[in-house]
């Protein structure tokens, strides 16, 4: 079983993650993880915090000579801003608890609900963990999962398809990538990293940047939508036999756990509800020597909670960041008097970063499904089991 935990506060000394269940023999380097951490920090519309941090992972255990050894993998990412907060956020009794106290909850954040749940007088004790800063640890964890998928010939690509009211063209994104060979897909993914918004449509990207500029000038924020596509998946990951083994359910849960995600759809998603069945499903064909195939992928690669061999298409809706530089109305946690919400450093738009986090989340769930189905304490054992399954599928289908 593959699982992980993260810990750490936004302005604490570091973020940490502990991964259990990675097979031995997986190549895993700091550079590989750091490349993805840098992508999470990038993106047009990010705030001042990203100018301070330079996320670099430290691998504390579970890896020797660049290869996993089967024991738990411990990861750490230093918070460089800790130097400015070490007295306020200290764990000992000497902590300056009276400094930077927050009592004005922000609408749309966990501030008020968290303070009431944990009986806190200072919202700082809530926002430090509820902050999306924690997702840096998730990207580090997801990097290990993505590496495992790479070893099995699977490519995971996340990108932005909408910011505010600006949407990419229908010929970009999945429509563009689905026509590519594996080598071209890798180049497509690398090219996205050169985009300021990780957007596959340059024309739409320029319009998106203007929208972000307008929101920043107005002290406002913008949300949007990102898409994650996965190529090379076999049929059979996930299961319909129990609710908690359905692949679509696990993907939705993982993506919805990312801060600011308010909706997830697979394939046609909500659009399928407006269509008759004849236009909502993917007809099945068979050709000798080729096997089963589809001409469409409206299901987004999942049927009945199980991957069907087509590329996986998942989209997530990202709400605007709740911290506004022209804050909304609120009420003081202690006095109950009307106040404007507190202001912390924040992004104008976090959708590009969310696409990187979403890519990591999808990679994690798929890696867990691979290990659940094929097992193996080593990468070689996992690959042999997987190859045997692919051989059986070919013999059955062709």
Residue 50: is its pLDDT beyond 70?
no
pTM: predicted TM-score of the whole model, two decimal places: 0.96
pLDDT on residue 53: 78
Q: Which two tokens stand for residue 241?
A: 């036999």
Cα(295)–Cα(285) distance, rounded to whole angstroms?
8
State the DSSP code for 80: G
Residue 316: is its pLDDT beyond 90?
yes
Phi, psi of 59, rounded to the nearest 5 degrees: -90, 110
**What is the dotted CATH code of the domain comprising 3-397?**
3.60.150.10
Residue 147: is its pLDDT beyond 90?
yes
Residue 51: is its pLDDT beyond 80?
no
Phi, psi of 189, rounded to the nearest 5 degrees: -65, -45
Q: What is the pLDDT of residues 63-103, one digit of tens each?
A: 999 999 999 999 999 999 999 999 999 999 888 999 999 99
Span of 231-235, 255-259, 343-347 with lowest mean pLDDT: 343-347
pLDDT on residue 49: 62
Domain coordinates of the chain in residue numbers?
3-397
Q: What is the pLDDT of residues 250-304, one digit of tens each?
A: 999 999 999 999 999 999 999 999 999 999 999 999 999 889 999 999 999 999 9
Strand order across the beta sheet in which 224-231 lies = 166-167, 155-163, 224-231, 312-318, 261-266
Q: Between the CA of residue 246 and those of 250, 304, 311, what are the distances in Å?
A: 6, 8, 17
Q: What is the pLDDT of residues 218-230, one digit of tens each?
A: 999 999 999 999 9
Band (43; pLDDT cuts 50, 70, 90): confident
Average pLDDT, the chain: 95
Q: Between the CA of residue 132 and those of 74, 85, 318, what are the distances in Å?
A: 20, 18, 13
Q: For the chain, where are the E strands, in sequence order?
A: 3-7, 14-20, 57-61, 63-64, 67-68, 73-78, 155-163, 166-167, 224-231, 235-238, 261-266, 284-287, 291-294, 302-303, 306-308, 312-318, 329-331, 338-340
Phi, psi of 337, rounded to the nearest 5 degrees: -75, 150
Cα(391)–Cα(204) distance, rounded to whole angstroms?
43
pLDDT on residue 350: 94
Q: What is the pLDDT of residues 162-172, one digit of tens each?
A: 999 999 999 99
Phi, psi of 214, rounded to the nearest 5 degrees: -65, -45
Band (45; pLDDT cuts 50, 70, 90): confident
């Amino acid at each position: 079983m593959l699982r992980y935990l993260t810990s750490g506060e936004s302005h604490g000394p570091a973020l940490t993650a502990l991964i259990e269940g990675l097979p031995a023999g997986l190549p895993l380097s700091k550079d590989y993880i750091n490349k993805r951490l840098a992508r999470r920090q990038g993106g047009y519309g990010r705030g001042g915090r990203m100018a301070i941090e330079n996320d670099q992972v430290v691998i504390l255990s579970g890896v020797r000579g660049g290869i996993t050894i089967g024991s738990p993998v411990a990861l750490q990412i230093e918070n460089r801003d800790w130097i400015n907060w070490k007295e306020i956020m200290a764990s000992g009794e000497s902590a300056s608890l009276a400094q930077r106290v927050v009592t004005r909850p922000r609408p749309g954040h966990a501030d008020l609900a968290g303070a009431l749940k944990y009986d806190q007088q200072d919202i700082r004790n809530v926002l430090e963990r509820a902050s999306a800063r924690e997702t840096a640890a998730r990207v580090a964890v997801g990097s290990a999962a993505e590496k495992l998928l790479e070893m099995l010939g699977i490519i995971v690509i996340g990108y932005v398809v909408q910011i505010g009211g600006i949407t990419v063209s229908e010929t970009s994104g999945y429509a563009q990538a689905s026509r590519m060979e594996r080598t071209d897909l890798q180049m497509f993914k690398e090219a996205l990293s050169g985009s300021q918004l990780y957007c596959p449509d340059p024309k739409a990207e320029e319009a998106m940047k203007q929208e972000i500029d307008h929101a920043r000038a107005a002290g406002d924020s913008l949300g949007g939508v990102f898409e994650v596509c996965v190529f090379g998946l076999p049929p059979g990951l996930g299961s319909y036999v129990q609710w908690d083994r359905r692949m679509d359910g696990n993907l939705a849960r993982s993506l919805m756990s990312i801060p600011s995600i308010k909706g997830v759809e697979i394939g046609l998603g909500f659009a399928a509800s407006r269509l008759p069945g004849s236009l909502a499903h993917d007809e099945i064909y068979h050709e000798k020597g080729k096997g089963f195939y589809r001409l469409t992928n409206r299901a987004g690669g999942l049927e009945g909670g199980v991957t069907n061999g087509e590329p996986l298409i998942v989209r997530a809706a990202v709400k605007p960041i709740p911290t506004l530089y022209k804050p909304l109305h609120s009420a003081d946690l202690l006095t109950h008097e009307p106040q404007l919400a507190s202001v912390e450093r924040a992004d104008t738009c976090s959708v590009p970063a969310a696409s990187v986090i979403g890519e990591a989340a999808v990679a994690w769930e798929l890696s867990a499904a691979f290990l659940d189905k094929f097992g193996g304490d080593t990468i070689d054992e996992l690959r042999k089991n997987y190859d045997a399954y692919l051989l059986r599928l070919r013999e059955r289908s062709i």
